[in-house]
C-alpha cells in the first residue's frame, strides 16, 4: 500500500491592519489581537513606533522603494504569522492593493481603520460620495489639474509638508487662485489641527507631513474654461499648427469611444491633444503618443503635464518602426492615426497590434491618404466620414463663413478573428 500524500498546510493569512494617527488607542480589539499574535510586523518606521511593547513580533521596516521589496519580504517570512501595518484603510491607496496582487485576496485578512478621507469629510461636513479624491503621494501634483472645475470639492492626499504650497501655486497658475484651501493635519490624533487660506495668497509655512488638503474650487474671471468632455479649446494647447482642431477632436474622441482602463496609441501625436483628452475622460485611461519630431514630443509632454495627465507616455521616433517595442509591452484597445498614414506598413502595423474588438480611427486631409482609407473601407467596412467645419468671420462690414479643410475619417472595429489588412500600392508620403 502506497503512503498517503503529505498534508500541505497553507501558510497563515497575512493580517493587514489599518492604523491611524491616534495609534494603538484607536485600534479595534481584533486589530490589536492580530498585532499581538504576529511573529513579524512589517510597516513604515513611523507606524512601527506607534506599537506598544506587548506587540513582541520582529519589527521590519519597509525599505525604499517599497513596491519592489514586497515579494522578497513576504517570501522571507511567509511561514510565520505576519501582520502588515497600513495607514488608515489599507485598500484605499494603501499597501493592501500590492499585497492582494502578490498573494491573492484569499491570503489576506484586512482590518481597516477610518481613512484620512473619511476623517476629513467628517470634519468638513462634506458628503463622502460627492467629494473627489486625488492622491499626490508619489505622483506629480499636476494630475490635480484635470479635476479643477468651478464649485467642485476636492481632497488632495499630500506627499509631505510642502505639498500644500505646491497645490496653491498650481491652482493659481491654472486660474483657480480664488479657491479656498484648508490643510487638515494629523487627523484622528490628539495633535489634530488645520490652517486655511486662499490659494493665490497662500503664505502658511510647511506644517505636519501628515496632511490632507481640502479645496473649494473657485475659478478667476479670466480662467480658461476646460470642460469634462473632449473638445477642449484650441488655446488650451501649446502647438506649432500640428493640432487636431476642437470640433474634429471631439468627433474623433467620439469615434474612439474611450472606456475606463483602456489603452490608446496616438500615432503622429502632433500636440498630443487626442491622447490627452482620451486620458482626461477617466483616471484609469492610459495612452502612448508616438511623435517623430523631438521638439513636438517635448511639447506633447508639456501639454500633458499642464492639462492634468502627466502619465501620458511619449515615444519619440518614426512609425511604424517605433511601434514594435510598444507591442511587446501592452496591447492597445484603440489606435488613432493622425499623421503619416502613407508611411509604408504603418496602417498594417497598427491593425495587427490592435486587440480583437479594438477600434482604429484615422484622419486625413490629403487626397493620397483619403484614397488609402477608401480602399480599406471597401475591404473592411466600418464608417467613412467627411467632417467639414466652417467658422463665421468678418467680411467687410458683414459676416460670412470660412471653411476649414475637410477631414476624411475612417473608423473601424477589429473583429474577434481578424485577417491582415490587404496590401495596397505605395503612395507618396504625407503627414497631417
- 67 is written with which cell numbers? 513596491
What pLDDT, in 10s, does the model give residues 91-148? 999 999 999 999 999 999 999 999 999 999 999 999 999 999 999 999 999 999 999 9
What pLDDT, in 10s, does the model give residues 275-328? 999 999 999 999 999 999 999 999 999 999 999 999 999 999 999 988 887 876
What pLDDT, in 10s, does the model give residues 216-225? 999 999 999 9
pLDDT, average across residues 149-159: 97
Residue 418 has pLDDT above 90, yes or no: no
pLDDT of residue 297: 96
Residue 432 has pLDDT above 90, yes or no: no
What pLDDT, in 10s, does the model give residues 245-271? 999 999 999 999 999 999 999 999 999
What pLDDT, in 10s, does the model give residues 49-64? 999 999 999 999 999 8
pTM (2 decimals)? 0.89
Cα 70 from Cα 79, distance rounded (Å): 15
- Residue-averaged pLDDT of the chain: 92
For the chain, how many residues are written?
432
Query: Among 9-13, 206-210, 269-273, where is mean pLDDT lowest?
Result: 9-13
Query: What is residue 109's three-state secondary structure?
Result: strand
What pLDDT, in 10s, does the model give residues 315-372? 999 999 888 878 767 899 999 999 889 899 999 999 999 999 999 999 999 999 999 9
pLDDT of residue 422: 52
Which strands form 40-43's sheet, in the order they lie side by side? 58-61, 40-43, 82-87, 14-19, 108-111
Cα 61 from Cα 66, distance rounded (Å): 10
Cα 406 from Cα 388, distance rounded (Å): 5
Cα 208 from Cα 273, distance rounded (Å): 38
pLDDT of residue 4: 64
- 425 is written with which cell numbers? 500600392
CB 263 within 8 A of CB 333: yes
Cα 219 from Cα 174, distance rounded (Å): 9
Q: Which residue has the higher pLDDT, 247 or 242?
A: 247
Cα 42 from Cα 49, distance rounded (Å): 11
pLDDT bracket for residue 78 (50, 70, 90): confident
What one-character-per-residue DSSP string does 44-88 give?
Answer: -HHHHTTS-TT--SEEEE--SS-GGGHHHHHHHHTTS-EEEEEES
What one-character-per-residue DSSP string does 70-82 give?
Answer: HHHHHHHHTTS-E
pLDDT of residue 340: 86
Sign of CA dihedral 27, 33, 36, 42: negative
CB 160 within 8 A of CB 209: yes
pLDDT of residue 424: 47
Count H helices, E strands: the chain? 12, 19
pLDDT of residue 430: 42
pLDDT of residue 79: 87
pLDDT of residue 11: 82
pLDDT of residue 355: 94
pLDDT of residue 8: 60
Residue 419 has pLDDT above 80, yes or no: no
Amino acid at each position: 500500500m502506497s503512503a498517503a500524500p503529505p498534508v500541505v498546510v497553507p501558510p497563515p493569512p497575512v493580517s493587514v491592519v489599518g492604523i491611524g494617527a491616534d495609534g494603538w488607542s484607536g485600534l479595534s480589539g481584533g486589530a490589536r489581537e492580530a498585532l499581538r499574535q504576529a511573529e513579524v510586523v512589517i510597516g513604515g518606521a513611523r507606524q512601527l513606533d506607534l506599537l506598544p511593547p506587548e506587540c513582541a513580533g520582529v519589527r521590519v521596516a519597509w525599505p525604499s522603494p517599497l513596491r519592489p521589496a514586497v515579494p522578497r519580504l513576504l517570501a522571507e517570512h511567509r511561514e510565520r504569522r505576519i501582520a502588515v501595518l497600513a495607514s488608515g484603510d489599507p485598500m484605499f491607496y494603501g499597501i493592501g492593493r500590492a499585497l492582494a496582487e502578490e498573494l491573492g485576496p484569499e491570503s489576506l485578512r484586512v482590518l481597516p481603520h477610518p481613512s484620512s478621507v473619511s476623517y476629513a469629510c467628517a470634519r468638513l461636513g462634506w458628503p463622502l460620495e460627492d467629494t473627489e479624491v486625488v492622491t499626490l503621494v508619489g505622483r506629480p501634483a499636476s494630475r490635480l489639474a484635470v479635476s479643477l472645475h468651478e464649485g467642485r470639492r476636492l481632497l488632495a492626499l499630500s506627499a509631505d509638508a510642502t505639498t500644500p504650497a505646491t497645490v496653491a501655486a498650481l491652482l493659481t497658475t491654472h486660474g483657480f487662485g480664488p479657491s479656498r484651501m484648508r490643510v487638515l493635519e494629523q487627523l484622528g490624533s490628539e495633535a489634530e489641527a488645520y490652517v486655511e487660506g486662499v490659494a493665490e495668497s497662500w503664505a502658511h509655512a510647511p506644517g505636519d507631513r501628515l496632511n490632507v488638503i481640502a479645496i473649494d474650487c473657485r475659478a478667476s474671471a479670466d480662467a480658461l474654461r476646460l470642460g469634462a468632455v473632449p473638445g477642449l479649446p484650441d488655446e488650451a494647447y501649446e502647438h506649432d499648427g500640428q493640432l487636431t482642431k476642437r470640433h474634429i477632436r471631439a468627433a474623433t474622441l467620439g469615434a474612439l469611444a474611450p472606456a475606463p482602463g483602456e489603452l490608446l496609441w496616438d500615432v503622429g501625436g502632433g500636440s498630443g491633444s487626442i491622447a490627452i483628452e482620451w486620458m482626461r475622460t477617466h483616471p484609469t485611461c492610459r495612452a502612448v503618443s508616438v511623435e517623430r519630431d523631438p521638439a513636438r514630443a517635448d511639447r506633447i509632454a508639456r501639454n500633458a503635464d499642464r492639462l492634468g495627465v502627466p502619465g501620458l507616455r511619449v515615444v519619440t521616433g518614426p512609425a511604424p518602426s517605433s511601434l514594435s517595442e510598444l507591442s511587446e509591452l501592452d496591447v492597445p484597445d484603440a489606435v488613432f492615426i493622425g499623421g503619416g498614414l502613407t508611411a509604408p506598413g504603418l496602417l498594417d502595423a497598427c491593425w495587427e497590434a490592435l486587440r480583437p474588438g479594438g477600434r482604429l480611427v484615422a484622419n486625413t486631409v490629403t487626397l493620397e491618404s483619403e484614397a488609402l482609407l477608401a480602399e480599406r473601407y471597401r475591404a473592411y467596412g466600418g464608417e467613412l466620414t467627411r467632417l467639414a467645419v466652417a467658422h463665421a468671420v468678418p467680411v467687410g462690414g458683414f459676416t460670412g463663413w470660412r471653411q476649414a479643410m475637410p477631414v476624411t475619417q475612417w473608423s473601424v472595429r477589429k473583429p474577434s478573428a481578424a485577417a491582415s489588412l490587404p496590401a495596397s500600392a505605395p503612395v507618396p508620403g504625407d503627414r497631417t
